[in-house]
Chain A
Amino acid sequence: MLSLARLVRTGSPCQPILGQGARNGRRVRDSCDSRDVKHVLSKGWRSRLGFLGFSNRRQPLIGAPVTSLLVPAESIIPASSRDLFALTKPRVMSLVVFTGLAGLLAAPVAVNPVLGFAAVLCIALGAGAAGALNQWYEADLDAAMKRTANRPLPAGRMSRQTALHFGVGLSVFSVVLMDVAANHLAAAILAVSILFYVLVYTVWLKRRTAQNIVIGGAAGAFPPLIGWVAATGEVTLLPLLLFAIIFLWTPPHFWALSLFVKSDYANAGVPMLPVVAGVSTTRRHILLYTLPMTAAAVAPWALGLAGWIYGFASIAFNAAFLILALGVLANRATEPAAMKPEKRLFAFSILYLFALFGALVADRWLVA
């Protein structure tokens, strides 16, 4: 069978040239077309990163071997539909769809099933579009990380232009369809969430500050709010609390992950908290964010906005989250192999969100 990788290689014979620029730590371009192989090398980047501060420019890739920093030449072969699907980050999308659906079902109004389906579809398409645009912008970064090196763009199975067109087209389509199926406010919030994820998180924050996922986490917090607004047409306290739960859940969730894939982020030059501030500071911050998260998660029940099913689930799951966060704080390991508490917290944090929003929906439909 014909190897696509061979086709990609034969499609462009360009080889990178490591010149004076590379030795000086500046962005290097090869001698070929700018769409082809690119890589960057830099030293001394840590001095430009404050723990909480912003640097004034996009951080370069550092530390990785030259071969791992190469973004393969773009394929001359049209992208497969499987790769287009992979561009939407389907696993991330599943959580987005679930929380969006939960926001829609938790709303105190009867939603027409067709319009509800269309609204959730729009949330899924919007998330997929944001994921595609994120991969379009971060192809060089993805190429430098083991976890993401096999994505369609860094693997050279798709052209950047295809990813850009796909992402922009899907964004516009999802927002317009949301406007038609639900209402203007839901469509506007969906548009804001896509722009926030792409412009604020991906372009602005991710390579500049260790607080990237703290602020950028807001992008992932929009779906339940959009679902609620699609159903009711208005923003009230409960959907804002749902937004707050995901917003405050994002840092512990991603910091737990970044602790045991720290070297990957360091090699790619992403200033995640463990890379910039160290492992023990990250562990303290995980606990620091877990506390307000638990408060926000219990608040709907405490304020009388949700019933006993949600109240019981939120207390039980937040207690478990807190215990696991304390376990992470107590861990002194620096090697990923010994970071079992971190891996446990990361895995549990996904279950936590599903369980919490599932309990909210169960509460609304079984108790109310």
Chain B
Amino acid sequence: MTPDEQDLIRKRQRDRARLMALLLGGFVILMFAITIAKMSINQ
């Protein structure tokens, strides 16, 4: 594998890791909001 290929692979991995972090953060916020919404409905 050439250095160019290795660089591209690392760049893709970084991009995907960043995206995954964002998605996980969004998921946590969404689950929190759903929980609060359900609690308010049940009250």
Contacts and interface: CB of A to CB of B under 8 A. Distances in A.
Contact of B15 (A2, A80, A115, A118): A80
A180 interface: yes
B40 A112 contact: yes
Contact of A115 (B8, B9, B16, B34): B34
A232 B19 CA distance: 34
Contacts of A81: 15-16, 19
A81 B33 CA distance: 26
A7 interface: yes
Contacts of A185: none
Interface string A105-117: 0000000101100
Interface in A58-95: 76-81
A48 B21 CA distance: 51
Nearest to A116: B37
Secondary structure call for the A interface: helix
Interface in B1-43: 4-5, 7-9, 12-13, 15-16, 19, 30-31, 33-34, 36-38, 40-41
B41 A112 contact: yes
Nearest to B38: A115
B34 A114 contact: yes
Contacts, number: 41
B5 A80 contact: no
Contacts of A180: 31, 34
Interface residues of A, number: 16
Contacts of A78: 9, 12-13, 16
A257 interface: no
A112 B37 contact: yes
Contacts of A115: 34, 37-38, 41
A204 B3 CA distance: 45
Contacts of A80: 12, 15-16
B25 to A, nearest CB: 15
A180 B15 CA distance: 30
Nearest to B5: A7
Contacts of A79: 12
A180 to B, nearest CB: 6
Contacts of A362: none
B4 to A, nearest CB: 4
Given A112-B37, A112-B41, A114-B37, A2 B4 contact: yes
Contacts of B5: 2, 7, 76-77
Interface in A251-284: none
Interface string A1-40: 0101001000000000000000000000000000000000
A251 B8 CA distance: 43
A49 interface: no
B9 A77 contact: yes
A114 B31 CA distance: 10
Given A77-B5, A114-B33, 16 more contacts: A2-B8, A7-B8, A77-B9, A77-B12, A78-B9, A78-B13, A80-B12, A81-B15, A81-B19, A112-B40, A114-B34, A114-B37, A115-B34, A115-B37, A118-B30, A121-B30
9 contacts: A2-B5, A78-B12, A78-B16, A112-B41, A114-B33, A115-B38, A118-B34, A180-B34, A181-B34
